Amino acid sequence: MANFYTDNPDLEFQFSHPLMEKIVCLKEQGFSDFGKYDYAPKDAADAIDSYHRVMEVFGEICADVLDANAAQVDETGVKCSNGKVTYAPGTVENQDVLIKAGMYGMSLPREYGGLNFSIVPYIMAAELTARADASFSNIWGLQDCAETINEFGSQDIKDEFLPRIFKGASCSMDLTEPDAGSDLQSATLKATWSEEKGMWLLNGVKRFITNGCADIKLVLARSEEGTKDGRGLSYFVHDRAWGGVTVRRVENKMGIKGSPTCELAFKDAPAKIVGERRLGLIKYVMSLMNSARLGIGAQSVGISEAAYRAAFKYAQEREQFGHPIIEFPAVYQMLSNMKARLQASRAVLYETGRFVDLTKAYASIMAKEKLSPQQRGEYKLYSRNADMLTPILKLFSSEYCNRDTYDAIQIHGGSGYMKEYQVERLYRDARITSIYEGTSQLQVVAAIRYVTSGAYSQLLKEYNSDCSMGQFSTLAGKLSDGICELDRIVDFCNSKSKSFIDYHSRALVEMAGNLILSHLLIKEAQRNSDMKASAELFTAQALASNASHSLFIMNFTEENVSSIERNYSSKCEQDVGC
Amino acid sequence: MRVVVLAKQVPDTRTVTKDAMTPEGTVNRAALDAIFNPEDLYALEQALRLKESNGCEVIVLTMGPERATQILKDSLFRGADHVILLSDSRFAGADTLATSYALATAIGKLSPDLVLAGRQAIDGDTAQVGPQIAQELSIPQITYATEISLADNCTIRVKRAIERGSEIVESSLPALVTVTSSAARPRSANARSVMRYKNFTAFEKWSVDTIGGDLNRYGSAGSPTKVRNIENIVFTAKESKVVNPDDASLENLITELIADHTIA
C-alpha cells in the first residue's frame, strides 16, 4: 500500500529536530492530560511516537484515497445551483474518510475533541494532503479557523463551535470583498447589533471565499459605523444553520478546482462576535493570516514534492537516443535544482512551524500564569522569529512551487502539456499559491523591514555560527561573506530614498531569504547526510543569485528608479484617472 | 447485539517476488509481508457500520500464531471493541474443515447474533471457511454480501452480488455473512485509537483448553485434505502477436485458436 509519509524519510526526520522535545513539553504543559484521556502521552518521546504513528495513517489515506480521487475531483470541479454548492464525489469521500480517522481538530485541545498535536505534525498533514490534492488541502486546512476561535473566542463560543469542528464541520474565513483584496482595511460588509435578536446582523458581499459554503464561517465586518480603516473592523462567527448567507456563484478557476471559491451575499445574517470589537483585522485576522500563510507554505511544499516525484519517475522511464532521459545533464540539472528548492522550502516550512509552535505554547501558558523572565525572553525571540520567517516561507515556497511544476512539465516534454499527466494539474494548482493569502509582493512588504532593520542579518549570524563547525565550515565561511555582502547592500540602500528601497525591496528580501534557506539546509545536512547535495547546490546558487542582485542594486541608481516611478505614476493619472 | 468478525493474517500475495515459493513448493512466508486479509477488512467495516447505526459490540477473532496479534491491534485501531487470538499448537496442519471446526467452537463460546467474514483469504483462495462454520453452527449463511443492515431486531437484510446484478435477501439471526471487496471501502485506523492502543499487549488468548471440543477434529488429525504435491508453475512469455481491431483479424484469430485447441 502506498504511503506518502513513510515513502518520504525527510518528513520523519523533522520529528528528530532538537527543538521537538521542548515543543512537545510546552504543548503538553506537564503532561497533565495523561490519565485524564486514554490517548494522551505520558512524556515527550511518547507524544512524538504518536505523531509518527498518526502520520503513518494520514500518509496512507493521502496516497490511497486523496491522491486516487484527485484527477476526478479536478475534472468534476464544484457545482453551484440555487445557492447550493456541490463538491466533487471524491472530495466528499476524502472528507468522510478523514472524519472517520479522527483527523479534524488536530491541534485543538483534548477537551474539545482535538488531538492536541503541535503545529509541526499539523503542517506535515497539510503538506501530505497537498501532495495528493491541493484543492482538498484548502478545505481540510480551513480547520485553522478553529485555532482562531480557540485563541480569541469566549468560552461560550469555544464550547459551541469547537467540538463540531472535530466532528468534521467545515469552515471558511470570509475576508475578501470586491473592493477589499490586498487592502483588507477597506472592507465594508456591515455588522449591526440587533437588540431584538440579541445578535449581530451582517449585510454585504464577500468575494473569492474559499469553501464559502462552509458550516462555520469567520467573517470580517465593519462594526463601527462611520469608520473607514482597520480599526473599525471586528470578527464574527456565523453558523450556516442561522441562515442569511447565499452563495451567489462559484468561480470557474484555472486550478484547485475541487475547492469552491464563492461569492456570498449576506442579508441580515445573524452572527456572534469573536473576541473584542475593533480588533478584527488588526489582531485576529493578522493571526489567522499568519497560520494561513504557514498553510500555503505547506501546500506549496506538497505540490513541489508531487511535481518532483512525477518528473523524476518520468525521466527514469522515458527513453530517447537509446537512454533514459534522466541520464542527460540537461534533465538531471533540472531535477537536482527542483530537489534543492524543494528541500530548502521544506526546511524553512518546519523551522517556521517550530517557532510558531513555541510562540503559541508560551502564549497559551501566558493566558493562565505569568511567565518567568527567561520564558518571556524566549517568547519574544520565538515570536519575532516566527514573524520574520513567515513571509520568507510564503514567498519562497510558493514561487518555488510554481517553478518546480513548470520544470516538471518541461521534463515531461509534450506529454506534460496533456491532461492525461498529473503535472498538468499540478502546474495549474501551483499558480494560486503565490497569489492568495497575501501575494508574493505583499510578503515582500511584510519582510522588507526586517532586511533594512538588520533583523534578518542578526538571525543569519546566529545560524552561521551554528554551521561554522564540522564538515560544512567552508560553506559556512562563504555564507558568512554573503551575510557581510547583504549588510553592505542594506547600508547602501538605507542611505538612499524610500522609493529606492521600495523599488529594490524584492531583490533585498530575496537576498536575505536565499541566505536563510541556505543556512537551514546546511543545518539539516549536519544531521542528515541525504541533504548534503541539495545544501551545496542551493548555497552555490543562492550566493550567485545574491551577487547578481547586489550588482543590480549598486548599478541601478536613484535616478533610474525615479524615471520608472515617474513613468508609471504619470501613466496612471492619464490612463486610469486615479 | 454482538457481532463477531473473523479475520486472518495472510502473506501479501499481491506483491509476489521470485522467492515467494520455497524450493519445496510451499509459500515462503518469510519473504512476504503479513497483512490483514483484504476481504476481512470489508467484513470489519460492515460490522463497524452496524455499530454506528445500531450500537452493537464488535469482536474480532483470529486463529493463528502469536504474530497474528498484529491484525488484532489493527482491528482495535479501526474501532473493534474486543479482540481474541485463538492459538494452539494442536491446531497445526489444519485444513479448512479443521479450521472451521476450531473457529465454530470458539464462536460458540461467544454466542454472537451475527458472524461476519471476508469472502475468502488471498493465500488459500478457497472461500470455504465461512460457509463451513455456518454449517457447523447450524445457522443460515449469506455469501457475497455488499451491504448489511438490520431489518428489525432479529432479522438481517443483506444485499449480495450475483451475476448480472444484485439481490436483497433477509435472514433470521444468528447468521453468518461473508463480505466481498465490492462492499464499502474499509475505514482507516482512527488517530485516537492508534494512540490509545499503540502499546497494547494484553490480548485475550484462547487455546483448545479454553474452547473445549473434540480433539480429533483439530489440526492435522481433523483434516481430510492431504496435499500430495505442489508444483511451482513458471509462466514464460512467448512471442506476442498483434491483432488488428477489425472483423477479419478477429475471425482469423478465432480460427487459429480453435485449430490449436486453445478454445473449443
**A519-547 mean pLDDT:** 97
Nearest CA in chain B to A116: B192
What integer pLDDT is reported at residue A526 of this predicted model?
Answer: 95
pLDDT tens digits for range A426-480: 999 999 999 999 999 999 999 999 999 999 999 999 999 999 888 999 999 999 9
Using the beta-carbon criterion (under 8 Å), do A97 and B192 form an inter-chain contact? no
User: Please, how many CA atoms are within 13 Å of residue B7, restricted to the half-sphere of its CB?
Assistant: 35
Residue B123 has pLDDT above 90, yes or no: no
Name the residue with higher pLDDT: A286 or A375: A375
Q: How close, in Å, is residue B186 to chain A by CA atoms?
A: 9
Q: How close, in Å, is residue B187 to chain A by CA atoms?
A: 7
pLDDT tens digits for range B45-91: 999 999 999 999 999 999 999 999 999 999 999 999 999 999 999 99
What integer pLDDT is reported at residue B106 of this predicted model?
Answer: 97
What integer pLDDT is reported at residue A110 of this predicted model?
Answer: 94
Q: How many CB pairs under 8 A join A and B?
A: 45
Q: How far is A405 from A423, CA to CA, in rounded Å?
A: 7
What spatial distance separates the first Cα and last Cα of chain B, rounded to whole Å? Answer: 53
pLDDT tens digits for range A273-319: 999 999 988 888 888 888 889 999 999 999 999 999 999 999 999 99
Name the residue with higher pLDDT: A182 or A217: A217
The CA-atom distances, in angstroms, between A217 and each of A191, A214, A274, A549 are 14, 7, 11, 43
Say what percent of chain B tops pLDDT 70: 98
**B166-195 mean pLDDT:** 96
What integer pLDDT is reported at residue A571 of this predicted model?
Answer: 53
Instruction: Sort out which chain B residues have CB atoms less than 8 A from A50's CB and list them.
Output: 194-195, 198
Q: How close, in Å, is residue A39 to chain B by CA atoms?
A: 4
The CA-atom distances, in angstroms, between B43 and each of A98, B36, B80, B120 are 20, 12, 12, 11
Contact B37, B118 (CB under 8 A): yes
**A190-202 mean pLDDT:** 96
Q: Does A57 touch chain B (CB under 8 A)?
A: yes
What integer pLDDT is reported at residue B15 of this predicted model?
Answer: 73
pLDDT tens digits for range A13-59: 999 999 999 999 999 999 999 999 999 999 999 999 999 999 999 99
**A169-181 mean pLDDT:** 92
**91-150 of A, contacting B, C-beta below 8 A:** 97, 100-103, 106, 115
| DSSP assigned state of A413 | G
The grid coordinates of residue A371 equal: 511567565
Beta strands B9-11; A84-86: pairing state: unpaired
Instruction: Sort out which chain B residues have CB atoms less than 8 A from A39's CB and list them.
Output: 192-193, 195-196
Query: What's phi and psi for A38, nearest 5 deg?
Result: -75, -5
Q: Within 10 Å of residue A451's Cβ, how many Cβ atoms?
A: 27
Greatest Cα pair distance, chain A, in angstroms, is 79
Using the beta-carbon criterion (under 8 Å), do A101 and B196 form an inter-chain contact? no
Q: How far is B180 from B121, CA to CA, in rounded Å?
A: 11
> What b/e string do you get for A495-532 counting C-beta neighbours within 10 Å, with b at 16 or more?
eeeeebbebbbbbbbbbbbbbbbbbbbbbbbbeeeebb
What integer pLDDT is reported at residue A572 of this predicted model?
Answer: 52
SS3 B71: helix
Q: Which residue has the cell 542579518?
A: A457
Instruction: Sort out which chain B residues have CB atoms less than 8 A from A38's CB and list them.
Output: 196
**A574-578 mean pLDDT:** 45
**A377-398 mean pLDDT:** 97
Q: Which residue has the cell 510562540?
A: A359
How does residue B24 score in pLDDT terms, banded at 50, 70 and 90? Answer: low
Residue A578 has pLDDT above 50, yes or no: no
**A69-89 mean pLDDT:** 95
Q: What is the pTM of this model?
A: 0.91
Highest mean pLDDT among A241-245, A363-367, B149-153: A241-245
Q: How far is A92 from A213, CA to CA, in rounded Å?
A: 14
| DSSP assigned state of A470 | G
The grid coordinates of residue A283 equal: 489582531
Using the beta-carbon criterion (under 8 Å), do A101 and B191 form an inter-chain contact? yes
**A70-84 mean pLDDT:** 95
Q: How far is A149 from A144, CA to CA, in rounded Å?
A: 9
For B190, which of A41, A60, A102 is closest by C-beta distance? A102
Residue B200 has pLDDT above 60, yes or no: yes
Say what percent of chain A tops pLDDT 90: 88
Strand order, beta sheet including B82-86: B165-172, B155-162, B141-152, B175-179, B114-118, B2-7, B57-63, B82-86, B204-206
Q: How far is A75 from A451, CA to CA, in rounded Å?
A: 43
Contact A547, A540 (CB under 8 A): no
How does residue A577 score in pLDDT terms, banded at 50, 70 and 90? Answer: very low
Using the beta-carbon criterion (under 8 Å), do A54 and B187 form an inter-chain contact? no
For A61, which of B188, B194, B195 is closest by C-beta distance? B188
Q: Which helix (H) or strand (E) element contains residue A210?
A: strand A199-210
**B11-34 mean pLDDT:** 74
Q: Does A54 touch chain B (CB under 8 A)?
A: yes
Domains identified in chain A and CATH numbers: 9-165+282-434 (1.20.140.10), 171-277 (2.40.110.10), 450-564 (1.20.120.470)
Which residue stretches of B213-262 are H helix? Answer: 247-259
Q: How close, in Å, is residue B10 to chain A by CA atoms?
A: 15
Residue A181 has pLDDT above 50, yes or no: yes
Residue A576 has pLDDT above 50, yes or no: no
Check residue A362 and give left, alpha or beta (phi > 0: left; psi -120 to 50: alpha): alpha
Residue A575 has pLDDT above 60, yes or no: no
SS3 B92: coil
Residue B233 has pLDDT above 80, yes or no: no
Contact A462, A351 (CB under 8 A): no
Residue A489 has pLDDT above 60, yes or no: yes
Q: How close, in Å, is residue A341 to chain B by CA atoms?
A: 32
Using the beta-carbon criterion (under 8 Å), do B195 and A54 form an inter-chain contact? yes
Q: Within 10 Å of residue B167's Cβ, how many Cβ atoms?
A: 10
Identity of the amino acid at A79:
K
- Best B188, B193, B194, B198 member to test A by mutation, with max A CBs in 10 Å, is B188
Mean pLDDT value across chain A: 94
Q: Which helix (H) or strand (E) element contains residue A167?
A: none
How does residue B17 score in pLDDT terms, banded at 50, 70 and 90? Answer: confident
> What b/e string do you get for B188-217 counting C-beta neighbours within 10 Å, with b at 16 or more?
bbbbbbbbbbbeeeebeebebeebebeeeb
Using the beta-carbon criterion (under 8 Å), do B196 and A115 form an inter-chain contact? no
